[in-house]
Amino acid sequence: MITLIHARNGGIRLHSDNADYDGRIGWSKNPEELAEMVKKDGGLAEFVRGVYMTKGKSIGFSTDDGPEKIWNEVLKLLDK
């Protein structure tokens, strides 16, 4: 299950408690791809920690709320 979302380089990296190595399972700027990664990994943990989700401009997004906008789209896709 996804336990950490990490905004970086204009996209979001997902980390999982199911993954080998350091928990990284993927990175994307595309909400549809991120939603598929979440589904493939078994969904979201009860508590998911976010890193740099409100500092988008400093990590490759055009706005500070860019990471939140992408993640909110992911959540909408998962809710369907």
Model confidence pLDDT, tens digit, residues 48-74: 999 999 999 999 999 999 999 999 999
The pLDDT value given to residue 37: 96
The pLDDT value given to residue 18: 77
Q: What would the mean pLDDT of 6-21 be, rounded to a whole number?
A: 88
The pLDDT value given to residue 42: 93
pTM: 0.91
What residue spans define the domains of the chain? 2-79
* Selection from 2, 24, 13 nearest residue 59 by Cα: 13
CB of 2 closer than 8 Å to CB of 41: yes
Give the dihedral sign, CA 14/60/73/47: positive
Q: Across the chain, what does the average pLDDT equal?
A: 93
